Structure 1
């Protein structure tokens, strides 16, 4: 009971800032009809309940599965088998990621189905599976993490030359969306389990981070390859016309029916892989099996409730607010975006966990307040700059991402290995459920309301900006930590 109450508090404080901002906007400059406001609040309530149950299920069900599979993988003597199994695990955990489904659905809606939801989910998952297998192989063979990231982002830079502006935005958004509430804890458990089998405490501590960041790079490559291999299609986009049903419950019921089957198909293969490992190796008590079974049920029920809230009452209202705020002077949307970034990161459950982890690892040399200030201001500025990009015709996403990642790769040479892994992992951590739902939909609404903006080119890319900010911020903290350690 204590654990589920803790999860409830985490989700509540993550969701509260956005809900409060929407209510304040309703009573000030962007009034909503009682029907729409009611749907938004109901959507927020369902997200609160669903995400709480889901995260509780992750802790008691999925995290132990990740640790168990990691141990069994390291006992696989054939490297080829190790790589193949790792790839399948990465693929299926990505298919089950709710944030990726939300992004893919929005991309499908904006392109009127030209970029199918399932195609994007499968493409990203193939890329993630491939890169996760290489990432785990890197841990086993002690290949330097910095070199791995350098090679990965050089490949991304090369692929970007042949990729359109529309797909560059989608590619980098996919990197943040695919490392969400399902993927991050599983990959962290997997990398921790594999790295601890090596025996070297210092090396295993550094190797336990970095796999989430590696997974993000695989998602970017996958969407770029999808564009290149599909004949470089010319996509255009606009927001679908909102159809407001008079029946309060109809969008929730429609989403519920769709989610029942989709989510079962998404999480089923992960459990099947676990059962295959358990059937061959055993090694778990009846109590542990019981907790994993209960956790899986909680994950399923929580995901259904979460997705029903997102699709039934959250996305459309978020887009509508973005479009309405764009009718005011530009600084309204810029200031609001900064506040959204500031508050959502401060309240993001995974960021809170990460801040404690870094403080412990550095022995207090990097304090939680300093870390949270770096992260929140960094993400707030990245969201504000995203709105400036939407409002300024000559500004493009690559104007921010290219110098941002060049800076990241350059300073990586001077940062301790541990901080490199943490920094790239934190990009996936910061771009959590609120970024994939409200903030992305809000930016699409702003893009739709700005005459010079393109919804597909400018409306996407905001998750990419959120994911990049912590990579730079935490590496800068790593430099300060290194200086502090040398000073002592």
Structure 2
């Protein structure tokens, strides 16, 4: 038990450390630029601590229960060498991991609230989770067959751009944000471990070229499916009146019995984690026909995941969402938009540099590349890309430009760079674009976009408020690929001169 408490304390401090860059940027802007403490600052600070506590509990639960079982299953299936079982397991684990993703829960709930119930939060999450499941199955097959990733990406993003032409403007930003939040504290470790593990175990596969790429695919496909969902939803009559009754009913429950509301929220978290548990139990007992070891430890892990998810959502409502909206409201009161741009750039860069998933992927890439890639340089390039992307996204909201033009231009650039980039960097670049949006960054950036769209005259919150996460995913791909192309050209130029 003392060892477990020590591990939890370490995880909690790590979660707090991930919040520090955001706190530093907010404090600097409040003290030097705004020169005032936001209203409800104490509640926001408490919310941030609850977020850190929720993330720590969640991560400890993953380490105790979900990850060990998931890795064990993946290793056993790889040793069996059964393609149908591997593909089925890839789909199931992709679906079950994403349906429990905290950042996706936050974005889906925000979308449902802002659209007055026209977009259903659970339906949106099911669509995104099914998309990631299909991606995992397709990605496993790609690794086994040894297909080059760049063709998948070029064809995929051409499809994304084509669908964007027909999608209603209310869904475009949300669709791209939904793709950006699928790869986070649950999915990245599971997806990356499965891809690299398969590439390592199959003769003739390169871990850097073949092992990476699953995360990038998991970002891309939900963009297509959510836009198709939007085409269907916005082709129907608005159910806004019914949605208002449902929301008012929830408010009545919350006001009448807070304990009942807490119980309902906890039950909702259990529902979110249940798919992962069912997948694990099914494959363990029905396919492998073996009993789970350390069942008590695994049960404790799942309990911590549920409690951590609940604390995380409570902390978001108290801390990160109010901070983003408050900062947006205060910054737009200045005569110049310069401070809004500077805040967006600083938040993007600071949070990305501290992103644990990015650090982990950078280290894995450095090891797999055998000296070709510097992990620290990769982090700087990705952080710069996120900062540029969020700043451009903020500019779009301020000017009121159509997101269609920005997104189509951005991914057209990505398609061109994919065709020009050296093959060793393509899969890694797309994965890096998928791991830049953390469980802390996503709610803050979403709240900032919604806050700006709410307070700038003539902006529609659903159309203009979403989309920042998409920009944070596009531009790291651009910076990493551009760097690789430039370095390759320099090497060739120096070789030609010598």
Fold in common (TM above 0.5):
yes
State the TM-score, normalizing by the size of structure 2: 0.86
Change (3 A) 1:212 1:253: farther
Task: Provide the rounded CA distance (Å) in 1 between the counterparts of 2:200 and 2:16.
Answer: 34
Deviations 1:4-53 (CA, angstroms, capped at 9, x unpaired): 4553343222211222333445556274566x211111110011111122
1:165 maps onto 2:165 in alignment: no
1:222 corresponds in structure 2 to 225
Q: How do residues 389-400 of structure 1 correspond to structure 2 at under 5 angstroms? A: 389-393=396-400, 395-400=401-406
The alignment partner of 1:389 has SS state of helix
Q: What residue ranges of structure 1 are gaps of 5+ in the alignment?
A: none
Equivalent of 2:354 in 332, 336, 347: 347
Q: 1:260 to 1:454 in 2, by over 3 A?
A: same
Q: 1:457 to 1:485 in 2, by over 3 A?
A: same
Cα deviation per residue 1:48-91 (whole Å; 9 max; x = unaligned)?
11112222333343333332332344467775565444333322
Q: C-alpha displacement at 1:461, in angstroms?
A: 0.2
| Residue matched to 1:186 | 190
CA distance in structure 1 between the partners assigned to 2:257 and 2:208 by the alignment: 46
Distance in 2, Cα, partners of 1:360 & 1:396? 42
The CA deviation at 1:475 is: 1.8
User: Which residue number corresponds to residue 142 of structure 1?
Assistant: 146
Alignment partner of 1:437 out of 440, 443, 448: 443
Is contact 1:89-1:270 (8 Å) kept? yes
Matched residue, 2:117: 113
| Residue 442 of structure 1: how far off its partner (Å) | 1.2
Corresponding residue SS for 2:440: helix
Q: 1:243-297: per-residue Cα shift (whole Å, max 9, x none)?
A: xx9xxx999978744431111111112112112222242678835x555444333
**CA-to-aligned-CA distance 1:145-200 (integer Å, 9 cap, x gap):** 11111221122122112101221111100011121211111211222333333233
Aligned match of 2:211 in 180, 192, 208?
A: 208
Query: What whole-Å deviation, never above 9, does each CA across 1:190-223 have from its counterpart, x for those lacking one?
Result: 22333333233x5244322111111111211110
CA–CA distance in structure 1, aligned partners of residues 209 and 257 of structure 2? 46
- Among residues 16, 22, 44, which one is paired with 1:18 in the alignment? 22
1:277 has 2:280 as partner: no
The answer to whether the Cα contact below 8 Å between 2:87 and 2:138 also exists between their aligned partners in 1 is yes
* 1:422 and 2:428 correspond: yes
What per-residue deviation string (whole Å, max 9, x for no partner) do you get for residues 455-487 of structure 1? 111110000011112111222233356457766
Alignment of 1:232-271 (within 5 A): 232-233=235-236, 256-271=262-277
C-alpha distance 222-277 of structure 1, shift in aligned 2 (>3 A):
same
3-state SS, counterpart of residue 410 of structure 2: helix
The answer for the alignment partner of 1:336 in structure 2 is 343
Question: Which residue of structure 1 aligns with residue 131 of structure 2?
Answer: 127
Alpha carbons 2:348, 2:383 under 8 Å: kept: yes
Which segment drifts farther, 143-152 or 59-68? 59-68
Does the CA-based 8 Å contact 2:418-2:426 persist in structure 1? yes
1:55 corresponds, among 56, 59, 63, to 59
CA gap 1:250/1:413 in 2 versus in 1, 3 angstroms: farther
3-state SS in 2 of match to 1:453: coil
3-state SS of 1:199 partner = coil
1:4 and 1:232 map into 2 onto residues whose CA distance is: 49
Cα contact 2:16–2:49 (8 A) shared by 1: no
Describe the shift of the 1:361–1:414 C-alpha distance in structure 2 as closer, same or farther (beyond 3 A). Answer: farther
Task: Tell me the residue number matched to 2:200.
Answer: 196
| Range with bigger deviation, 378-387 or 294-303 | 294-303
Q: CA deviation at 1:305?
A: 1.5
Aligned residues of 1:209 and 1:422 also touching (Cα < 8 A): yes
Cα separation, partners in 2 of 1:290 and 1:25, compared to 1, 3 Å: same
The structure-2 alpha-carbon separation of the partners of 1:112 and 1:76, relative to structure 1 and needing over 3 Å to count, comes to farther
- SS of 2:116's equivalent in the other structure is coil
Q: Contact conserved, 2:208 with 2:365, CA < 8 A, in 1?
A: no
The number of residues matched between the two structures is 476
- Stretches of structure 2 that go unaligned for 5 or more consecutive residues are 245-250
- Cα distance in 2 for partners of 1:361, 1:85 equals 25
Report the CA distance between 1:331 and its aligned residue: 1.2
Between stretches 178-187 and 334-343, larger displacement belongs to: 178-187
Query: TM (normalized to structure 1)?
Result: 0.88
SS in 2 for 1:195: helix
